[in-house]
Amino acid sequence: MDLKIILCGIGGQGVVFLNRLLARAAMDAGFPVMSLESHGMSRRGGSVVLNLRLGSHESPLVTQGGADLLLALDEQEGLRNLSYLKSGGTVLVNSENEFPQTVLIELQRLQIKTQIINATELARNLGKVNAANVILAGAAAALPAVSLSKEDLQNTAAAMSPKAADLNCRAVELGYNVF
């Protein structure tokens, strides 16, 4: 595995937790991990963009046009950061809507795979709107390029947050089987 990932969302959505969850699951599966997080000025409501590299200790910083995968917890933030993707990459976005038609045409031209998942709605049904990030992690783990096992991700989620272990395991399950 050598994956360059951009994670984005809004401060308060749990982008950092999403990052740690995937990073730690990859680490537990034996892969080296390097990431660059964002702490400080994006506490609530601000744009958050994180860089994650799975499978290598080289620079975690991803160039424009260089990401294999874009994980977006917010539709607008996902849209804003699309140009990080390289052709043939994948975008997985938490949204109720498709991307606008003009954007979709470009994504198709670049053979970028678009996966829309309404993780917020799924999380709300699960009883906790904040669990959208874990659902997205489940969906990401199931992508062929990532292929982390569901059980590993569940174990990692449980270890990271024992209090929410049950909820997060169900959230992973939901995300993993969404497509």
Binding site for another protein (CB under 8 A): 10-12, 19-20, 23-24, 27, 32-47, 57-66, 76-77, 79-80, 82-85, 87, 100, 102-103, 105-107, 109-110, 129
Tell me the one-letter amino acid at 94: N
CB of 153 to another protein, least distance (A): 14
Judging by beta carbons within 10 Å of its beta carbon (0-12, 13-18, 19+), is residue 76 exposed, middle or buried?
A: middle
Nearer to another protein, 87 or 177 (CB): 87
Please report how close the Cβ of residue 60 comes to another protein at its closest, in angstroms: 6
Do 116 and 179 form a contact (C-beta atoms < 8 A)? no
3-state SS track over 62-107: CCCCCEEEEEECCHHHHHHCHHHEEEEEEEEEECCCCCCHHHHHHH
Query: Which is closer to another protein, CB of 40 or CB of 144?
Result: 40
In whole angstroms, the minimum distance from the beta carbon of 27 to another protein comes to 4
Nearest-approach distance from CB 61 to another protein, in angstroms: 5
